[in-house]
Amino acid sequence: MTVYFYRRDRAPATAPCLPPGLDLRVWRPAEDGLPRRGPKHGQNLVWWAFSRLGVFARPRFAEVSIWRGGRLLHRLIVTPRWRRFPFMDADDLQIGDLWTHPEVRGQGLARLAILEARRQAAGAAGRIWYLVEANNTVSVRLIESCGFRRVGVGRRTRPFGVRALGRFEIETPLP
């Protein structure tokens, strides 16, 4: 699998303007403790445990989500450097694991969440990274529209054929 590596250097970001009826939430295990019950509770328990165990280079993990009523519409996570992302510096952050409910795709929610993640990271992050599979043209257009620039091409390793043990590696840096 070919992976594109995108990066945005430190830059101020403004708060996204949410349409009426939407609620933007940010959860940080280091500050907020255990995750609230919800659709991603199981995954967030793992992220909470990683945070508590010191897996990350620093305690800046966050989940940014957009809700309408009690329904999750979009979510992404922001991870500090850890073994999966060896190309990052200690003060860098990475935006990933984006998910948008199929019924609301194409309405700009991912862009709003990325803007909020950037705003939350302002002053606390060096660079912000975003990785995407090369064939995911929708995600490529999204991140480029958010001002990120492609800085490399690489892959995800699978030691012993196990994806969970893999790391993302830049094989071809771009100028």
> Which range of residues forms the domain containing residue 38?
2-173
pTM, full prediction: 0.92
Taking a C-beta distance cutoff of 8 angstroms, is the pair 77, 44 a contact? no
**pLDDT of residue 125 exceeding 70:** no
The confidence score (pLDDT) of residue 92 equals 93
Domain count, the chain: 1
Question: Per-residue pLDDT averaged across 76-92, rounded?
Answer: 95
The confidence score (pLDDT) of residue 24 equals 94
| Closest among 77, 88, 86 to 121, alpha carbons compared | 77
* CATH code of the domain in which 38 resides: 3.40.630.30
C-beta neighbour count of 124 within 10 angstroms: 12
Summary mean pLDDT of the chain: 92
Measure the CA angle with vertex 160, ends 62 and 157; round to 5°: 50
**pLDDT of residue 99 exceeding 90:** yes
Write out pLDDT tens, residues 36-63: 888 889 999 999 999 999 999 988 999 9
